[in-house]
Structure formats: C-alpha cells, structure tokens
Amino acid sequence: MRAIVPNRPGLLAEITEVLAARGVDIDAIVVESHGSAALVRLEVERGDEALAALADAGHPAVTDSVLLARIEDRPGALAALSRRLGDAEINIRSLHHVRRDEGFAVVAISTDNNDRARALLGDAAL
C-alpha cells in the first residue's frame, strides 16, 4: 500500500505508532521525500486493518494487488523479466525486491494486468 502525505518531522514515527497501536506488523517500508510531500510504501500482513488505521489518522492510503515472481539472482534477470512484460504491452506500475534465496530473487510486481502477467511468467510466478 502507499500513501502520499505532507512531509514533516515526526511523520514516520506517527505512522508506525498508529500501525503498532492497531497490532499491524510491518513487513517492509520505504519512505521517500519529494519536496513538501512524502511517499510512504508499506507491506503488511493485515492490509485492511492498516488501511483503516492510516485513514483514521488522516493518512488515507491505496493498495495495489501484486504478484510475486522468482527469477535467477544474476545480472540481467530483472532486465529480461521487464522486457518480457514490456514486449507483451504489460505496464509495470511498481516493482520491488522482496528477498534472495538460494540463487534466486523474489520480486513483487504490480502491473496494469496481473492476470496476463501471471500467465506470461508461467512457473516464475509464485
């Protein structure tokens, strides 16, 4: 999920405290400052609870469904995956690395057509 919020001191503390108070565990978080705004991207187990907690605190967030793909952990593997999707006219909305595991990397991908992307990736889609 992601939220675009006014950037100010204490923002990260506020967001993480709100989620902790509702018992939401954060699996991954990225915060980027863009002038007077901040982009907060979160991965959590209890998405609905996190959305409600953030909205109640005045930080409405949106979600994208993602698919996980397992690719070889080598130079060019992500380029090949991206090219396959691009050549099929599937737009990547967001992508981030989740983990490395025994010679492979797992990436989370949000596209404009996850069903087509999943079919195209075949066994690489988890």
Number of H helices, E strands in the chain: 4, 6
Q: pLDDT by residue (tens digit) across 45-81?
A: 888 999 999 999 999 998 878 888 999 999 999 999 9
In this structure, which topology does domain 2-56 adopt according to CATH? Alpha-Beta Plaits (3.30.70)
What mean pLDDT value characterizes the chain? Answer: 92
User: What would the mean pLDDT of 10-20 be, rounded to a whole number?
Assistant: 95
CB-based contacts of 119, cutoff 8 Å, min separation 6: none
42: how many CB neighbours lie within 10 A of its CB? 23
User: What would the mean pLDDT of 69-97 be, rounded to a whole number?
Assistant: 94
Contact predicate 33/7, CB 8 Å: yes
Tell me the domain boundaries of the chain: 2-56, 67-124
Can 2-56 and 67-124 be said to share one CATH topology?
yes
Record the pTM.
0.65
- CATH number belonging to domain 67-124: 3.30.70.260
